[in-house]
Amino acid sequence: MKLTILGGGGFRVPLVYGALLGDRAEGRVTEVVLHDLDDSRLYAVARVLDEQAAGIPDAPTVTATTDLDEALRGADFIFSAIRVGGLQGRADDERVALAEGVLGQETVGAGGIAYGLRTVPVAVDIARRVARLAPDAWLINFTNPAGLVTEAMSRHLGDRVIGICDSPVGLGRRIARVLGANPQDAWIDYVGLNHLGWVRGLRVAGRDELPRLLADPDLLGSFEEGKLFGVDWLRSLGAIPNEYLHYYYFNREAVRAYQQAEKTRGAFLREQQAHFYEEMRDPGAVALAAWDRTRAEREATYMSENRETAGAGERDADDLSGGYEKVALALMRAIARDERTTLILNVRNQGTLSALDADAVIEVPCLVDANGAHPVAVDPLPGHATGLVCAVKAVEREVLAAAESGSWATAVKAFALHPLVDSVNVARRLVEGYTEVHPGLAYLRR
C-alpha cells in the first residue's frame, strides 16, 4: 500500500512515519512517497525517517520527489499537509492583522482568511491532479484551515477527501478523563465547523455524563477548557466549546495577548524550525536527535501559560500523544481494512445540520468503513451556535469564490463579513496589507 505525503518536508512528518512504524497489521502502508517543493526540506526529513527506521524490520520504504504528478500516480492514500507561504506566511498573517487590531491566528479570523485565500488555489490544483492521476485514492486533508480546504477539494473529489483535526478528540479525551471515564468508552456528542465546535454531551454506557461535569465547579475548573473559558461561562453555555472558540468569546483579551507577546506563535515556530533545517545541512549531524530536540521544545510551549503568544495552552503530556497522526492512521486503517469505527471528521454536511446546505463541509462524528466516512445524525445546535457556524461558513464561501474568480472585492467581502473583523474599512486595508506581503495572493485583481 502506497501512501503519498504532500508537504513531505514538513516538520511533523516524522510523527506520521513513527505512527506507521508502529503499525504491524496486515494491509499496512509499505511504501511512503514524500513530496515537497523544497529539496533541502525533503532531504532533512528523509534523513530523520531513515534513522527512525533503523533496526525495524519491514519498515515502509521512503522515497522523495519534487514532482507532484509522479508522487500522486499509484497512490492508495494521500496525506495533504502543505503550508502555502511557509511559517513566514503564518507570521505575516499574524502581523498584518495585529497592525489593524484584529486577530491574525493561523485558522481563525483575518489570519485564517488570508491563509485560506492563498491555500485554496493550490489545494484545488492538487485535487484536480488527484482526480486525474489517482482517482481511486483517498485524500486525507491535514492542511489548514482544514474545513475550508477540505470543502474546496471536495468540489473536485467528492467524498474521497476527508479533513482531519486533532482538537475534537483531544477535547473529548480531556472531558472523559476529568469525569473518570475511559476515553475509549465515551461517545462524544460534538458538532460544528473545524475549530468551531461544541461538545454537548459525553455518553458512557448510554448515560450522558456531561451534566455531572457542568454541575461541579471544582471538576469543571480542573481541566484546560475550564481554565480557559471559566466555570461560569461554561455553565452558561451548557456545553464545552473547542478551545479555538476562545478567540471568539474572549477576542479582546486574545488580541491583546498577541499584541503584547514578544513573538507571535508563527514567528516563534519559524525561527525554531529554521534552526532545525539549518542544522540538517551538516551531513554529520544526527538527524533524529536534532529533530527530537526541536519537537520537545515545541511541545514544551504547549504547556506554557499563554496559548496566544509562544504557547498553546496547558496540555499535559498525554494530550500531545494523540495528535493528527493518530487520527489519520485510524482513519486510513478503517478505510483500508474495512474496520468500522467512529471518528470526528470534516466531511460534507448532507443534511446533518439543517441550517447548512448539503455540500458544506462540517466537523462531526462519522462512521468510517471501506466506503468512506458518513456523518451520523446529531442534535441540532442552539441558535447562538448556529448563528456563528452560518456566519463563518458564509465567510468560507466568499473565500472560495474569491479564489475562483480572483476578485479583490470578493476577498474584501470575505474579511468584512467575518464576526471578528469590525469594519469594512479594516477589511479593505487587510486585503491591501496581505497582498503586499504574500506573493500567493497576486492572483487577486481589482
Which residue ranges are tagged as binding site for Mn(2+)?
A: 165, 195
Cα 350 → chain centroid: 22
Please tell me whether residue 261 binds Mn ion under the rule CB under 5 A. Answer: no
Place of cell 481589482: 446
CB of residue 323 to ligand G6P, shortest distance in Å: 6
CB of residue 106 to Mn ion, shortest distance in Å: 9
Nearer to ligand G6P, 110 or 444 (CB): 110
Residues 107, 148: Cα–Cα separation, whole Å = 10
Residues 26, 24: Cα–Cα separation, whole Å = 7
Burial of 24-55, coded b for 16+ CB within 10 Å and e otherwise, reads eeeebbeebbbbbeeeebbbbbbbbbebbbee
Nearer to ligand G6P, 269 or 395 (CB): 269
Residues 89, 319: Cα–Cα separation, whole Å = 27
The binder of 312, among ligand G6P, Mn ion, none, by C-beta within 5 to 8 A per type, is ligand G6P
Nearer to ligand G6P, 106 or 151 (CB): 106
Please tell me whether residue 343 binds Mn ion under the rule CB under 5 A. Answer: no
CB of residue 246 to Mn ion, shortest distance in Å: 14
Please tell me whether residue 312 binds ligand G6P under the rule CB under 6 A. Answer: yes
Q: Which of 36, 92, 93, 166 is catalytic?
A: 166
Binding mask 155-194 for ligand G6P (x = CB under 6 A): ----------xxx---------------------------
Nearer to ligand G6P, 28 or 295 (CB): 295
Is there a contact between 62 and 34 (Cβ–Cβ < 8 Å)?
yes
Instruction: Judge whether 166 counts as a catalytic residue.
Output: yes
In the list 165, 193, 234, 345, the residue contacting Mn ion (rule: CB under 5 A) is: 165
Identify which of 89, 100, 120, 116 has the alpha carbon closest to the alpha carbon of residue 424: 100
Provide CB contacts within 8 A for 405, sequence distance 6+: none
C-alpha grid cell, residue 395: 465567510
CA angle at 431 for the pair 426 and 432, rounded to the nearest 5°: 95
CB of residue 292 to Mn ion, shortest distance in Å: 23
Residues 228, 314: Cα–Cα separation, whole Å = 9
The binder of 393, among ligand G6P, Mn ion, none, by C-beta within 5 to 8 A per type, is none
Instruction: Judge whether 39 counts as a catalytic residue.
Output: no
In the list 265, 270, 315, 413, the residue contacting ligand G6P (rule: CB under 6 A) is: 265
Instruction: Say how many C-beta atoms besides its own lie within 10 A of residue 286's C-beta.
Output: 14
The binder of 270, among ligand G6P, Mn ion, none, by C-beta within 5 to 8 A per type, is none
Q: Give the single-character DSSP code of 61.
A: E
